Structure 1
């Protein structure tokens, strides 16, 4: 747990990534953008997967303005639409032969009213988990060819929900609570990583599946999803507790690049309430490593997405 030193992992510790290829969902803003900027600036090929072409083009232009030699481009992806997921995966498969790191970073947080994806899933479980589940499965052959990594960006919010996936109401149809639904989706990220890493180990695969969390970082996520009553609270909390998106991206970069990052590992700030502080390997809650729950979520996810790994 202390292998990254008393001060934790820093960008300066990142190994040489020149010539490697990384695909990042939601790489147009926040933590995903900061990770894309660091990787592209260090010589990696970066592919931003983003729903909005305008926002993606703006992010690419900004990174190229800072690093003119950056090898970065964007591909359209709407995680709330499984047909878009399939199209993005198909395009990536045609354009590239391998992916060194698939960073499952995009997310939505706490919309005040229950919304659904194009496929009828509750928006948060649909975007944060099911869309990524299908994308990672379809791109797995590219990651496997590179003996690369699948990194899920989870959250300390997984601690504050029901402490288990509510399989009886996974889509929040009976009762919708934006906080609990978000927490459930982030718990799903961790159970997904747990399930993938166990399957990789059983298959004797060199692919690494790791999870991370950004602590409490100031990003657009706190203001684009939550309702009006939450936004003032997040604004105050950002002033008191938040670190920048730049530092919030450190756990993602660690999990994606550092040779010490292990399959099944969980990385993030380890200070007060895990909101900030030194970035190291840490521990999710025990219920986030429940084999039975992970296997059940895997089965349900394959059924809902109609995609079998």
Structure 2
């Protein structure tokens, strides 16, 4: 499969110790209570940033805040977010707007993987709804705050995008469903969304930018809470043999969100063994993810599914 890089990073092995002073900057992180989201929050907070963690579980969010406060002196706020419930997404955005008038980094990180076929109350396939549509809606509701800060929208994709296909005539996979097929589609959608968002921001002469990233293969609870059957069993030995730590998985998120070297429209991640681990720099993009017609088509399909018009440009 042909792959391409879409930017040129100034360093070949970026690490979080290159972060500038982030005092006074505000970062919103979905799923910031665990996994790579928590580690990204820690790194950004230790560099001085104020944090807003948007999480589905209030209990886990409170525990994460307590843990973060051990090493972070900046502000940490919590807000409830369920990415499959449009009313809570809108309420989350409203609450965030009451907390701040600017967002330096909106990190669309929360996600699920390889779940059994499930349809949400809105009639959406669960992985597509959680990983893509929920973040698409949240970003539409908060983009003006990112623009006010000349900030960044960061979307966490995956090396799984290489195997993904957007089934435009069957987005909810009502036929031919498999947990992996749905996951791969949702991760490809993350990447297409990021590329199209940055394209539209440029056309609108917006001060905001969009950047995508992937964490490689990081050992998180996503591998234990989502998959069932074969995959649930397989992830235990695979994690032990192949996975890198959550903190290493978070490095690409932090680069995309706040690294001075990061460039708009880019895609960053580990580039070592099968892109699962190793030095963080420009990550290869599958050739089929560069089809601009698909970027636009997915954007318009997402608007139609959600019943919204996503306007770009403050």
TM bucket (normalised to shorter chain) is over 0.9
Aligned to 1:57: 62
Q: How many residues align?
A: 304
The 8 Å contact of residues 190 and 289 in structure 1, kept in 2 or not, is answered as: no
Against the structure 1 CA distance between its residues 84 and 10, is the aligned structure 2 distance closer, same or farther, given a 3 Å change threshold?
same
CA pair 4-236 structure 1, distance change in 2 beyond 3 A = farther
Q: Distance in 2 between matches of 1:99 and 1:264?
A: 18
SS in 2 for 1:229: helix
1:63–1:70 Cα contact (<8 Å) kept = no
Structure 2: how far apart are the matches of 1:22 and 1:46?
5
In the alignment, the residues of structure 2 paired with residue 180 and residue 118 of structure 1 have an alpha-carbon distance, to the nearest angstrom, of 21
When normalised by structure 1's length, the TM-score is 0.96
Note if 1:98 corresponds to 2:102. yes
For residues 285-308 of structure 1, give each alpha carbon's deviation from its aligned partner in whole angstroms, at most 9, with x where no partner exists: 111121111101000100111121
Q: Residue 169 of structure 1: SS of its match in structure 2? A: coil
Q: Which residue of 2 aligns with 1:160?
A: 163
The answer for the alignment partner of 1:216 in structure 2 is 217
Secondary structure, aligned partner of 1:48: strand
Structure 1: tracts of 5 or more residues without a match: none
Deviations 1:101-131 (A, max 9, x none): 00000001011x2112231110000000000
Query: Which structure would you say has the larger RCO, counting Cα contacts within 8 Å and 6 or more residues apart?
Result: 2
1:91 positional shift: 1.2
Mapping of 1:194-273 within 5 angstroms? 194-273=195-274
**Do the aligned residues in 1 keep the contact of 2:19 with 2:260 (CA within 8 Å)?**
no
Could you say what secondary structure the match of 1:18 adopts? coil
Q: TM-score, normalising length from structure 2?
A: 0.94
Is 1:117 aligned to 2:123, yes or no?
Answer: no
Unaligned stretches of 5+ residues in structure 2 = 1-6
* SS of equivalent residue, structure 2 residue 229: coil
- CA drift of 1:44 comes to 0.6
Q: 2:152 aligns with which of 139, 149, 172?
A: 149
CA distance in 1, matches of 2:9, 2:96: 35
> Shift in Å at residue 60 of structure 1?
0.4
* Contact in 2 for aligned 1:144/1:206 (Cα 8 Å): yes
Deviates more, 1:90-99 or 1:17-26: 90-99
Cα distance in 2 for residues equivalent to 1:228 and 1:62:
33
Partner of 1:80: 84
Q: Is 2:156–2:253's contact at 8 Å kept on the other side of the alignment?
A: yes
- 1:36 corresponds to 2:35: no
Distance, in Å, in 1 between the alignment partners of 2:304 and 2:263 is 29
| Inter-partner Cα distance in structure 2 for 1:286 and 1:204 | 27
Report if aligned partners of 2:252, 2:268 keep a CA contact under 8 Å in 1.
yes
Q: Does 1:289 align with 2:293?
A: no
Deviation string for 1:187-225 (max 9, x for gaps)? 000000111011011111121100000001100011100
Matches of 2:243 and 2:10 in 1, distance apart? Answer: 22
SS in 2 for 1:115: coil
